């Protein structure tokens, strides 16, 4: 029997930052699979948020335009780039639980002159998912315009471990 669990009741005190790295520019209809990640696969995902880079008059917010990862400098994805990307998540039964979900809708919007208004709380989309990271992917609906290599930081919020 299915037991209803109100999604607003799900709390998250734990998060995991996943860095989706791109070594070359993507073309329209390209799929980029997430790498297998046991941290994500073991967790019950209760929220997802995508971070991006934007510059407000010399202040980088919420992320700087570049990020150093293992000695390589990556450009951080921008909000404009996110508008042309979707996310598909596959659960452990190999069913798509999110299909072609716009990545931009998983990003908090920050607008000048008060960019930190939303930054004090977790404004992530709430879910109740068990996913397989290696079978989940991002699709580009248009050609990528950000210079490679670039990275899309995705925060997965989780409630408990299985």
**How do residues 65-92 score in pLDDT, each as one tens digit?**
888 888 999 999 888 888 899 999 999 9
- 92 located within any domain: yes
- 26 located within any domain: yes
- 151 located within any domain: yes
Paired strand residues for 73: 68
- 12 located within any domain: no
CB-CB contact of 9 with 126 (8 Å): no
Helix residue ranges per DSSP H, 6-149: 38-41, 79-82
- 7 located within any domain: no
**How do residues 113-151 score in pLDDT, each as one tens digit?**
445 544 434 456 778 888 999 999 999 999 888 888 999
| Residue found by looking up tokens 């299909």 in the block | 99
Give the number of domains in the chain.
1
Tell me which residue range forms the domain holding 132.
17-113+123-161
User: What is the reported pTM?
Assistant: 0.78
- 9 located within any domain: no
């Amino acid at each position: 029997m299915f037991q209803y669990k109100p999604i607003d009741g799900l709390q998250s005190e734990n998060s995991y930052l996943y860095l989706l790295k791109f070594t070359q520019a993507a073309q329209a209809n390209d799929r980029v699979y997430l790498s297998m990640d046991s941290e994500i696969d073991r967790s019950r995902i209760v929220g997802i948020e995508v971070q991006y880079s934007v510059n407000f008059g010399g202040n980088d917010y919420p992320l700087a335009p570049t990020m150093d990862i293992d000695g390589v400098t990556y450009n951080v994805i921008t909000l404009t780039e996110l508008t042309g990307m979707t996310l598909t998540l596959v659960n452990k039964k190999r069913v798509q639980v999110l299909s072609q979900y716009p990545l931009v809708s998983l990003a908090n919007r920050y607008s000048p002159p008060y960019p930190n208004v939303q930054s004090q709380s977790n404004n992530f989309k709430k879910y109740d998912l068990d996913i397989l990271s290696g079978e989940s992917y991002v699709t580009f609906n248009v050609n990528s315009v950000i210079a490679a290599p670039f990275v899309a930081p995705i925060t997965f919020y989780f409630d408990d471990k299985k």
